[in-house]
Each structure stands twice: as structure tokens, then as C-alpha cells.
């Protein structure tokens, strides 16, 4: 398998058994993988934005896994399936289903009771789901798309810009994003909300 490359700060390494799930055997570099994944993600964005979705659908394990599968399913056989190994980020693999159920219940409560502003609900959900780290890979991009789904489908507000930069590759934007995520780790969501709208 030719997928031997370095990972940037806070990227989740793909385990050897997960590499076996690659559906396109000609991919050999990080750049090629990123290109295929980006095209798939753009297709998933077009699909999800064409759907009529309510909070009761969005905040379910079924939808969350379906969105991940739409984002990565033509590239990875494990797309949309919870990870079976522990990673450098995220909770223990056995805790994923319960933690995700708890997050979905919390998010429905926030929406119903207007606990936070629409942007903060979307960003809090994005942050919590990425800390759970449900899937073998693609959790950051999935969490950002989930926030976009929440803000556009539930609240009919514009999508987040996420700094209008590539957050996968190392650079100034990724460092600013990671700094905002670290602030959110300490329950300060302002930086992440500002970055998301920047």
C-alpha cells in the first residue's frame, strides 16, 4: 500500500488495516488522496444541501454516519462506520455510540430551548463531535460540514466560511483553526465562532 506519508499537526494517522479499505488502488500520495477526498466532499455538500432536513433527522447517528459515507464512500470502504481502533485524538472507541447519542440529545435540547445562538449551537456541536472522533479519518472535515448543515438547514443562515482556506494542509489558517479549537477545549467558543465566520 503506497499511503506512507507524514501527518500534519492534529491529523489522525490511518492505521495499516484502515489503509486496506482504500477503494482506489492508484492513490499513492497525500496530495492525490486529498484531491479525491475533496471531490467527494464537494459532491456530498451538493447532495446534503439539496435535502430537506430537520433537527430530528440531523441529530441522529443514522444521518451523521450517512453524511460521512457520502463524503468518503467512493474512497474508503469504512466510510460512515465507527472506528474500531483508538487514535491520537478522541475518546475510547467503545464509548463512541453512547457519547454520540448524548451529544445528539443535548443538541436537540439546545435547539428546542434556544439555549445558545444558532452559530454557537452549530459550533458547539462541531467541537463535541470532533472530540468524540467517530470515524477512522475525516472527522474534522465531517464536523465542519455538520456545522454547515445545522446552520443552513435548521436556522436558514449562510454556511460558515471556515476562514475560506484549506484547513487540511499545514499553514497559517490551519494553525489559527487549531488555536480556536484548543480554546473551545476550554469552553471558550468565541474564537472558533469568529474563525468559522471569518
Structural domain count of the chain: 1
pLDDT greater than 90 at residue 138: yes
Structural domain boundaries, residue 68: 29-197
Q: What pLDDT digit, counting tens, does each position of 150-194 carry?
A: 999 999 999 999 977 667 666 788 899 999 999 999 999 999 999
C-alpha span between 192 and 101 (Å, rounded)? 23
| 164, part of any domain | yes
21 domain-assigned: no
Spatial contact of 37 and 86, defined as CB atoms under 8 Å apart = no
- pLDDT one-digit tens code per residue, 40-62: 999 999 999 999 999 999 999 99
Average pLDDT over residues 79-85: 97
Distance CA 19, CA 55 (A): 34
The pLDDT, as a whole number, for residue 1 is 44
5-43 tens-digit pLDDT? 555 555 677 888 898 999 998 998 888 998 999 999 999
Q: Give the pLDDT mean for 77-92.
A: 95
Residue 24 lies in a domain: no
**What confidence score (pLDDT) does residue 5 get?**
53
Domain for residue 19, yes or no? no
Residue 155 lies in a domain: yes
pLDDT the model gives residue 29: 87
C-beta pairs of 192-195 under 8 Å, 24+ apart in sequence:
192/123, 192/126, 192/127, 193/119, 193/120, 193/123, 195/162, 195/163
CATH (domain of 187): 1.10.3290.10
- Domain-located, residue 8: no
What integer pLDDT is reported at residue 172 of this predicted model?
A: 86
Amino acid at each position: 500500500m503506497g499511503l506512507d506519508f507524514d501527518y500534519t499537526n492534529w491529523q489522525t494517522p490511518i492505521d495499516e488495516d484502515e489503509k486496506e479499505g482504500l477503494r482506489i488502488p492508484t492513490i499513492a500520495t497525500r496530495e492525490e488522496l486529498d484531491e479525491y477526498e475533496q471531490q467527494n466532499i464537494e459532491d456530498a455538500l451538493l447532495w446534503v444541501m439539496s435535502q430537506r432536513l430537520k433537527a430530528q433527522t440531523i441529530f441522529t447517528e443514522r444521518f451523521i454516519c450517512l453524511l460521512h459515507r457520502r463524503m468518503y464512500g467512493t474512497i474508503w470502504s469504512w466510510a460512515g462506520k465507527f472506528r474500531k481502533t483508538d487514535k491520537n485524538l478522541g475518546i475510547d472507541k467503545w464509548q463512541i455510540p453512547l457519547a454520540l447519542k448524548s451529544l445528539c440529545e443535548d443538541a436537540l435540547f439546545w435547539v428546542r430551548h434556544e439555549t445558545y445562538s444558532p452559530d454557537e449551537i452549530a459550533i458547539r456541536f462541531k467541537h463535541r463531535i470532533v472530540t468524540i472522533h467517530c470515524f477512522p479519518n475525516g472527522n474534522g472535515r465531517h464536523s465542519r460540514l455538520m456545522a454547515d448543515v445545522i446552520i443552513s438547514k435548521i436556522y436558514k443562515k449562510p454556511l460558515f466560511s471556515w476562514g475560506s482556506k484549506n484547513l487540511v494542509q499545514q499553514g497559517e489558517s490551519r494553525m489559527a483553526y487549531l488555536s480556536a479549537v484548543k480554546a473551545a477545549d476550554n469552553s471558550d467558543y468565541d474564537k472558533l465562532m469568529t474563525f468559522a465566520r471569518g
